[in-house]
Amino acid sequence: MHSKEIEAVRFLTERLLSTNLRKGYDLTREFEYSYVRPSSKGDKWQWFWDSCFHSIAIAHVDPNQAKRELETLVATQAEDGFIGHKYYWGVRFGGYTQPWAIRQSRHEGRLTRSGIIHPPVLAQAVERVGHIIQDAAFPPPFMHALDAYHEWLDDNRAPDADGLLVIISPYESGVDQSPAYDEARGVDGRSGRWRQALRDRLLGAKNWASGYDSAAMLSKANFYVKDAMVNGLYADSLATMARMHKAQGNMEFAQMYAARAELVTESLLEKMLDRSKGGFLSLIGREERRIEPLTVGGLVPLMVGGMPADIVTEIIERHLLSREKFWLRYPLPSVAANEPSFNPRETRMEWRGPTWVNTNWLVWRGLRRHGHAEAADQLASRTVGLVARSGLREFYNPLSGAGMGAKDFGSSALALDMAA
């Protein structure tokens, strides 16, 4: 990658602090919040995994704001350890002007947080920001909240002995319009976005009627998926917790998290790995049927440190680097290019072909972790060049590199971390 491209991405990241930064004082929490909204226009609330990604990118240009970003996110935590996928800082009129937000929220009276989760990347964000700013004292203040958060996940979303998390809505995956969820939604690949949206709203209404109580939602199984990417991130999150506790001398906690990470990794390999297909496939229903097609989420578990080297190498060399699947001009498409559902120009159901920087970053971490430096460098170089030319867009056409979706999209600033 060229220095001019890196400087262009740095400039775009710095500009987020003027276009996307939202500050204020929330009377409900009695807290002074400060976070980067996902884009300069549209939704102004704090999103869980977007905020984690923002903190990592912004740490390269403003360490203090990176810290405030994570402090604000942790401040949204409920007493039982739950952190929702969205928090409504400074909402007006009790939130009653936003019926869809209310239907995604627990029955708590005034609208504050959503009732669903996002992929677990908070521990990774805390660790990574600490490394970027070279401050070993950065993670400890977050550990209590992180422990409570992981206990909530284990108690509420890991119902089986395999330790795998179950998601109860496609929105919990962060890749909500992925064709991998068509069957779980009750639609087929030919269904348009309006029918998909209608099914999502019906599902949201059912979950809202259950009070977003995990036991009730898992029992009814209106949407019951053990997602490959979510659980790959969960295994990585548990391993990250083990490292941070070990670094702080908390050996009992470190061993507990390491054992959980090992269990989830073994379950990923045993239940989700499809070597012929070229990645990890999510499981639908209690009967745990594997879901096709192969998506970029099926590559994300490669980031888990406990993955056997031969499996990692095989998937990378035969599938990830395949020009018929993922190694397009601007990798990595959200769906393998040889899948019937692949649509590189889709802007409405955007996880059906376009390239996203956040999933590139996740896979890039896996490539580096397992010693595939050349592939990691190529992915980083192409991603940085893509963002430098097309700007911080929500997603990109993997064939032309054209930016699509929202502008000033914060999580695409992760390209700066890939450059660093």
Domain ranges of the chain: 1-117, 311-420
Q: pLDDT class for 148, splitting at 50, 70, 90?
A: very high
- Write out the two tokens for 251: 């050996």
Identify which has the larger pLDDT, 230 or 41. Answer: 230
Statement: residue 348 has pLDDT above 90: no
Residues 6+ away with beta carbon under 8 Å from 408? 15, 16, 19, 20, 39, 40, 41, 391, 392
Percent of the chain with pLDDT over 70: 94
Residues 6+ away with beta carbon under 8 Å from 401? 329, 330, 386, 389, 390
Cβ neighbours, 10 Å, residue 339: 18
- Asked if 335 and 349 touch (Cβ cutoff 8 Å), the reply is no
Q: What is the mean pLDDT of the segment spanning 85-107?
A: 71
pLDDT digit string (tens) for 239-258? Answer: 999 999 999 999 999 999 99
Report pLDDT for 417: 98
DSSP string, 152-180: HHHHHH--STT----BSSGGGGS-TT-GG
- What mean pLDDT value characterizes the chain? 93
- Asked if 96 and 90 touch (Cβ cutoff 8 Å), the reply is no
- Write out the two tokens for 181: 């969820």
Report pLDDT for 43: 86
pLDDT digit string (tens) for 158-176? Answer: 999 999 999 999 999 999 9
pLDDT digit string (tens) for 300-330? Answer: 999 999 999 999 999 999 999 999 999 999 9
Cβ neighbours, 10 Å, residue 326: 29
Helices (H), 44-192: 48-58, 63-74, 99-103, 122-132, 143-157, 182-185
Q: What is the mean pLDDT of the segment spanning 270-295?
A: 95
Q: How much is the pTM?
A: 0.96
What sign does the dihedral 262-264-270-273 (CA atoms) show?
negative
Distance CA(24)–CA(220), nearest Å, equals: 39
Q: pLDDT class for 141, splitting at 50, 70, 90?
A: very high
Report pLDDT for 93: 58
Statement: residue 31 has pLDDT above 80: yes
Report pLDDT for 108: 66
Cis peptide before 293 (omega within 30 of 0): yes
Say which range, 177-191, 276-290, 326-340, 348-362, has the weakest mean pLDDT: 177-191
Q: pLDDT class for 199, splitting at 50, 70, 90?
A: confident
Statement: residue 118 has pLDDT above 90: yes
